[in-house]
Amino acid sequence: MARTKDAVLAPEQKELMEKEYLDFVKPSTYGNKVNPSTRSSLCTDDVENPELRAIVENVAATIPNREETSTNEAQSPPN
């Protein structure tokens, strides 16, 4: 089996991985806030392959900062 850093991805594979990864890391509607200083390296530190790292960074850039999008209502559990 090829190591992750040696993998060569077709454009369709990159697109699919980006979509699946984005679906996986979508922030929930309420909960703890993410520390903005740690957001940029949230999932990229362990990615060795430059193509995969670019996908992960691309997806991370599309996820809104919870502090900007959160409200008290969104963080409150339902009644």
Query: What pLDDT, on the 0 to 100 scale, is given for residue 7?
Result: 72
Q: Which two tokens stand for residue 35?
A: 């520390």
Which sequence spans correspond to the domains of the chain? 16-26+38-61
The widest CA-to-CA distance across the chain, in whole angstroms, is 50
Q: What is the DSSP letter of 40?
A: T
What is d(CA 32, CA 70) in angstroms, rounded to the nearest whole number?
Answer: 10
Bigger pLDDT: 6 vs 52: 52
Statement: the pTM of the whole predicted model exceeds 0.85:
no
Bigger pLDDT: 14 vs 78: 14
pLDDT per residue as tens digits for the range 12-71: 888 888 888 877 776 655 455 555 544 445 555 666 777 777 877 777 777 766 555 455
